[in-house]
Amino acid sequence: MEIIKVNNYEEMSKTAAEYIIRKVRQFPEATFGLATGSTPVGTYKRLIEDHRENGTSYKKVATFNLDEYIGLSGENPQSYRYFMDSQLFNHLDIRKENTFVPSGSAEDLAGECRNYESKLKNHGGIDLQILGIGNNGHIGFNEPGTSFLSKTHIVDLADSTIKANARFFNTIEEVPTQAITMGIATIMQSREILLLASGEAKADAIGQLLGNGVNEQFPASVLRNHPNVKVIADKAALSASKVRV
Ligand code: F6R
C-alpha cells in the first residue's frame, strides 16, 4: 500500500483528480469504480473543471458506483444516482448509459445484485476504483463483519453509518436503513484502488488501516492484501497513524 501524504482536502482532491485525468487520457476506454459522500466531491469538481478547460473526454469511459440506498429512486435528491448525476456526470461528456449505479428501487433486489455483477463482468471489471472510508472502516457499504468473499449484496446499515449520513437528510428517521453495495470481493477485483481520506474524523480509521492485521471486523483492512492500492490522505487523517510517510 502506497501512502501519499498531502496537506489538506484541497490537495487531496487535486492529487486524486490529476491521477484520474492521467488515466483517462492514457486509457480513454477505462472503467472506473466511483464513490459518493463528502470525500470525492472536490475531486469530481476538478474533473469537471479540467473537462471544461482542457477538454479531457469521457465519451468512452464507463463507471460503476459502489452503492445505493434501498427504497430511493434515482430521482430522489438523496439517492446516490442523483448525487452522481448532479456532482459529476451531468457536467462531463460521459454517456449516461455507461454510468452504472445499483438500483435501490428495483422490485427484485437480489436480481439487481446479480445483474450488477454481470454488467461489471461484461465491461471487463474495474480499472481504477475510488474509495472513501467510513469511521468504522467500511468501504462501499460493507460494514464491519462483512465477509471478504462477498459480491454485490444487500446490507443493513450500521447505526454509526446511519448517524454519519443523517447530515444529508432532514431527520435521522429519513435515512434509509438498507443499501445495495458492491461486495468486498468485487472491490478487491479492481485492478487498481485509490482510497481518499481527509480530516481528523478519519484519523482513527486510517490509523487502523495502516496498522497491523487484516480482519473482517475492519473491512478496509482487506486492502492490505491488494497489490495495487494508493492511499491519498491529508495530515489530519494521518494524525493517528504510526507509520512514517
Ligand atoms: C460512498 C461509500 C462510503 C463512503 C464513506 C465515507 O459511496 O461507499 O463508503 O465512502 O462512508 O463517506 P464520506 O466521504 O462522506 O466521509
User: For the sheet containing 31-34, what is the strand order?
Assistant: 2-6, 229-234, 192-197, 128-131, 31-34, 62-65, 99-100
Range list of H helices, the chain: 9-26, 41-54, 80-87, 109-122, 159-165, 184-188, 203-210
Q: Whose CA is nearest to atom 2 of ligand 1?
A: 140
**Distance separating alpha carbons of residues 34 and 30, to the nearest angstrom:** 12
- Please give the span between the terminal C-alpha atoms of the chain, in angstroms, as a whole number: 12
Q: From the CA of 78, how far away is ligand 1's center (Å)? A: 14
* Residue-level pLDDT at 29: 98
Q: Is 39 in the pocket of ligand 1 (CB under 6 A)?
A: yes
CA-CA-CA-CA dihedral for 39, 81, 75, 72, to nearest 10? -90
Q: From the CA of 37, how far away is ligand 1's center (Å)? A: 5
* Residue-level pLDDT at 157: 93
Q: Is 134 in the pocket of ligand 1 (CB under 6 A)?
A: yes
Ligand 1 probe mutation, 138, 152, 206, most atoms within 8 A of CB: 138
Closest approach atom of ligand 1 to CA 161: 11
Q: What is the pLDDT along the chain (245 residues), one digit of tens a residue?
A: 999 999 999 999 999 999 999 999 999 999 999 999 999 999 999 999 999 999 999 999 999 999 999 999 999 999 999 999 999 999 999 999 999 999 999 999 999 999 999 999 999 999 999 999 999 999 999 999 999 999 999 999 999 999 998 998 999 999 999 999 999 999 999 999 999 999 999 999 999 999 989 999 999 999 999 999 999 999 999 999 987 77
* Residue-level pLDDT at 245: 72
* Residue-level pLDDT at 190: 98
Tell me how many degrees the CA angle 46-47-53 measures, rounded to the nearest 5.
Answer: 85
* Residue-level pLDDT at 242: 81
DSSP state of 193: E
Let me know how long the chain is: 245
Active-site positions? 67, 136, 138, 143
**Distance separating alpha carbons of residues 207 and 46, to the nearest angstrom:** 28
**Distance separating alpha carbons of residues 32 and 128, to the nearest angstrom:** 5
* Residue-level pLDDT at 36: 97
Q: Is 180 in the pocket of ligand 1 (CB under 6 A)?
A: no
Q: From the CA of 145, how far away is ligand 1's center (Å)? A: 17
Q: Which CATH architecture has domain 2-234?
A: 3-Layer(aba) Sandwich (3.40)
Q: Is 36 in the pocket of ligand 1 (CB under 6 A)?
A: yes
**Distance separating alpha carbons of residues 63 and 176, to the nearest angstrom:** 24
Give the model confidence (pLDDT) of 8-35 as tens digits.
999 999 999 999 999 999 999 999 999 9
* Residue-level pLDDT at 131: 98
Tell me how many degrees the CA angle 78-145-138 measures, rounded to the nearest 5.
Answer: 40
Instruction: Please say whether the beta carbons of 143 and 157 come within 8 A.
Output: yes
Cα Rg, the chain, nearest whole Å? 17
Instruction: Please say whether the beta carbons of 65 and 101 come within 8 A.
Output: yes
* Residue-level pLDDT at 74: 95
**Distance separating alpha carbons of residues 169 and 219, to the nearest angstrom:** 26
- Domain boundaries, given as residue ranges, for the chain: 2-234
Q: Is 37 in the pocket of ligand 1 (CB under 6 A)?
A: yes
In a 10 Å sphere around its CB, with 0-12 CB exposed, 13-18 middle and 19+ buried, how is residue 41 labelled?
middle
**Distance separating alpha carbons of residues 228 and 2, to the nearest angstrom:** 8
**Distance separating alpha carbons of residues 41 and 87, to the nearest angstrom:** 7
